Structure 1
Amino acid sequence: MMRKAIITFGVGYGFEHIKHFVLSCKKFIPDTDIYMFAGKNIPQLEADCSHIQGVHFIPFKENFTGKVIAKVLSKMPSLQQKYAQYLSAKWERDPLRRTRIEALTSPLTQFMVKRFFLIKQLLSQLPHEQVMIADVRDIIFQYDPFATLQSDAIVTGIEPVANSESEMNEKWIRRTYSDAIFEQMADKNVACAGVTYGSRRAINQYIEEMLEETYENLPKIIDMLGADQAIHIRLFYYRLRGLTRHLEANGSGSIATLHFSDLTEFSVSNGRIENLTGQPLAVVHQYDRHPDLAVELRKGLEARQPVNQMAS
């Protein structure tokens, strides 16, 4: 049996924010290890999860020197830009020192980008053959998404709008790349960076290409919200060569991505959301954008006693 890992970030969250993610994962994917980066409340989270097997909390920490440099340079934009250009060039020219360069780079970036530096470090220490990178607060599981995963596959969800129809995604792509690059992707559906999973090889390649794009565009994306999303979209439409890329639309795959959905692609009953053919979705993302749905899914989960994890 292939070992499965889900890597996520719960910094600033209490148990109430991660509860439904964790319980649904351990019910429907019981043999999966959850690795969650968290903040100073790890002792409390560990106590809250003491009756649940396979949940590992990791302190969220960044390189001290890098943090100090980033803080000082934040008050000197021109030097900050030159420093970013230096790190970008150094990372490209000196592969043997990339670990050190990445530690210095991470504090320059917004949280959703910096997580990829930490994921790279963590994944190098894990033995798992199948890996998911996921948000935590707004995800609930309904069955095992890894069950039918191909060895060369990488999977993400797409939203029912084009990049040109999403003001925030358009802004992020234009700022991270250029107006010309945005025009190439304008008619593509938004690919959501909140859920990505695949074989270990596929996820390693995804992370490496995410960092390549980060360094190529680093001076433009210092502390910028949404750069990870722009890069994710570009990777799934134009990169990740050699992998089978699955961009799953609502109702047609294992992922439901609900921010822009009016829910007409689904039916909801008995605490579950299904596509119109009656197939439940493995990963339900952004369900909290629909308060009534959130109540029903959470009640449905809590009504079903998880197996093999909960203390009697």
Structure 2
Amino acid sequence: MNLRDIHTPVLLDRCVELLAPALTRPGAVLVDATEGMGGHSEALLERFADIHLIGLDRDTDALRIAGERLARFSDRVTLVHTVYDGIDAAVRSTGRDKVDGILFDLGVSSLQLDEAERGFAYSQDAPLDMRMDQTAGVTAADILATYGEGDLRRIFERYGEEKLAGRYARAILEARRSEPITRSARLVEVLVAATPAAVQRERSGHPAKRVFQALRIEVNAELAALEDAMPAAMGLLPVGGRIVVMSYQSLEDRLVKRLFADASASTAPAGLPVELPEHAPRFRLLTKGAELASEEERARNPRATPVRLRAAERLRETA
């Protein structure tokens, strides 16, 4: 199997361009906080011959594949099995307290989507697992079996932005009275049956799409991990260090946008005649809003369609 055939990195050239100024420093260190199958890491290791890569991933299968793909760079690569909110501990475990560049490629990976038995895709029948780290944690089937109507509605509304959250929660409780919902095809069947025909005609996406997204986020505590990971990551950057984040759904992107906006704003009280150094912005934004993949890239790699890329550079140290 050619590893390059199973993973096409999204916005690869743009990521390289944005990180380049930070990675040309002697002895520069890059953290790929979502290593996946190593596509972005491989390109960056090829482009910058002196960098050391610290690659993080919660998925042991992904780390194994990345290790194979990056084997020729083994003296410049450290792979760590951790969720990305463990970025600070992972970096310090290598004897460092600063890194020069950080890349986040969020969301579910190509590996997880393409392996039907992981249960991430509503289009393929499989056990409802959805764990990115299959060595720990509850599965989507566990959640469907144990959560009450209120909790199911909450996650469907919050993480899926699903307008029919209450209707779907009630349908799941009714269905599980007969037998547990353990497979993706059965969950899809329940959701489709609970969706009014008029809604099915009006919606452009599948009725199960938002519920599957919500379950995946809940199973993997993705937003909570990201909310902890981003400040920790930004704190690891020295002046001139750069961070690039690619999001694939609006909840992630809004969180990144807010954190970047706060870090790039002055903290000076209104009305001060001059801005004191300690109130100056800590970061500057490197993108104007969120950048999208080109039409050409979306046609070549459909998984680039929803991507939103944001990047920032540290301007000053803080106490």
Q: Same fold (TM over 0.5)?
A: no
TM-score of the superposed pair, with normalisation by structure 1: 0.30
TM-score of the superposed pair, with normalisation by structure 2: 0.29
Which protein shows a greater Rg? 2
The structure whose RCO (Cα within 8 Å, separation 6+) is larger is: 1
- Structure with greater proportional strand content: 1
